[in-house]
């Protein structure tokens, strides 16, 4: 798969946006970030406002590309499935529309298509955020970590202020927050893109292990998508899946199972509707087969969540049982309950203890009298 070439001399934000989207679709995240970063800088300089309406799409794809680059750099094994749903088709349609407007850009995208395309059923990688590696030198004494250093060709170390450099995830979060603000200003016209932005923000938070924020953002985006898309939407199914991943990572098992089951329900609706309207068309049959290929993965996650819950409950019950006192313990109370336990006195009623003490005192007094009266017990003078 050929990378998208981003010219350093290109100063056309529209062309750079098109190149960035094409690179993102081809999963060439490095080129996508380069193009979209430059496009955003040019537009901010042109309008003098980092919240100008023209920057919304640039920020959205810039954030998505940074998230992809972070996952790629961390070489993480993920479990969120990348599907060809409504959002993917819109990405490709937007690229095609832009290709008809820009000469240089069209040539770049045609070269990319000639060398390879993105599989619609490719898996997205889910992983933790990538951070700059730091080299720590030690001479045996305790010292603070120093910034990482790179070695030049002549062997001279060049210190880099890596600690001051924001990570890809931090930049992604910042630009997506800007995109969210702009889409909110558009009202109903920006609702669809706003929902997508919220879901991507949730994924960024999930990568950063900010689970509460991740769940809240994905849920809000999902709420909007359910209003915008039909009940067989693969976009909604994918968002339900992502929400399930967020819940499971935060060990909210019941919520995770419910989200995965909702994802399955949307996919099954899609299969049913395709089968009704397909009439044997090859493209419909291919999509049905593709969706059916996603189902086992989701079913496996549901089974894993239920098994995890059952195992956790067993461990809790075992721990509770071990902590209970037994009758074999020295001086310990018996764990058995008598048949007439329902008639036992409440803990606040100690009259039976008082009566028992009096009876014991009476027995003791009688024993003392018996000892005094017995000739055998008298000490001889």
Write out the DSSP string of 76-87.
-----B----HH
Percentage of residues in the chain having pLDDT higher than 70: 60
Query: What pairs with residue 81 in β-bridges?
Result: 123
At 372 the pLDDT is 53
Q: pLDDT band at residue 369, thresholds of 50, 70 and 90?
A: low
288 and 275 Cβ atoms separated by less than 8 Å:
yes
Tens digit of each residue's pLDDT (9 = 90 or more) over 70-123:
999 886 444 444 444 455 556 655 555 555 444 444 443 344 333 333 333 334
Query: Distance between CA 192 and CA 212 in Å, rounded?
Result: 23
DSSP state for residue 229 in the 8-state scheme: S
Q: Provide the angle, in degrees to the nearest 10, between the axes of the packed helices 282-323 and 253-277.
A: 160
- The two tokens of residue 370 are 């018996």
At 217 the pLDDT is 98
pLDDT at 272 over 60: yes
CA 76 to chain centre: 14
DSSP state for residue 329 in the 8-state scheme: S
- What does the domain layout of the chain look like in residue ranges? 1-124+165-204, 229-321
Which residue has 């949307």 as its token pair? 266
Q: pTM for this structure?
A: 0.65
Query: Distance between CA 93 and CA 79 in Å, rounded?
Result: 27
pLDDT at 35 over 50: yes
């Amino acid at each position: 798969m050929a990378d998208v070439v981003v010219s350093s001399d290109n100063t056309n934000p529209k062309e750079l946006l098109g190149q960035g989207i094409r690179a993102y679709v081809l999963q060439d995240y490095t080129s996508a970030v380069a193009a979209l970063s430059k496009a955003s800088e040019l537009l901010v300089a042109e309008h003098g406002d980092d919240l100008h309406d023209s920057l919304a799409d640039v920020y959205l794809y810039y954030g998505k590309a940074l998230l992809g680059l972070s996952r790629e750099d961390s070489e993480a094994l993920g479990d969120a499935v990348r599907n060809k749903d409504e959002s993917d088709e819109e990405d490709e349609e937007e690229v095609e529309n832009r290709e008809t407007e820009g000469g240089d850009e069209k040539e770049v995208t045609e070269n990319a298509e000639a060398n390879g395309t993105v599989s619609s059923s490719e898996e997205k990688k889910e992983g933790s955020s990538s951070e700059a590696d730091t080299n720590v030198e030690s001479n045996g004494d305790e010292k603070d970590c120093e910034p990482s250093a790179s070695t030049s060709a002549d062997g001279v170390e060049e210190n880099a202020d890596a600690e001051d450099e924001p990570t890809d995830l931090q930049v992604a979060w910042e630009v997506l927050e800007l995109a969210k603000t702009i889409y909110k200003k558009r009202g109903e016209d920006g609702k669809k893109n706003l929902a997508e932005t919220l879901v991507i923000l949730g994924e960024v938070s999930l990568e950063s292990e900010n689970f509460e924020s991740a769940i809240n953002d994905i849920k809000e985006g999902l709420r909007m998508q359910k209003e915008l898309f039909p009940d067989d939407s693969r976009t909604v199914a994918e968002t339900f899946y992502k929400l399930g991943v967020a819940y499971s990572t935060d060990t909210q098992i019941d919520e995770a199972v419910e989200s995965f089951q909702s994802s399955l329900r949307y996919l099954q609706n899609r299969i049913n509707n395709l089968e009704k309207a397909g009439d044997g068309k090859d493209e419909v049959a291919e999509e049905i087969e593709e969706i059916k290929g996603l189902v086992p993965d989701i079913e496996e996650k549901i089974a894993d969540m239920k098994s995890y819950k059952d195992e956790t409950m067993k461990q809790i019950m075992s721990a509770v049982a071990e902590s209970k006192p037994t009758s074999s313990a020295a001086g310990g109370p018996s764990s058995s309950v008598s048949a007439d336990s329902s008639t036992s006195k409440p803990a606040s009623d100690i009259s039976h203890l008082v009566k028992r003490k009096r009876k014991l005192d009476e027995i003791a007094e009688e024993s003392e009298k018996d000892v005094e009266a017995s000739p055998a017990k008298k000490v001889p003078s």
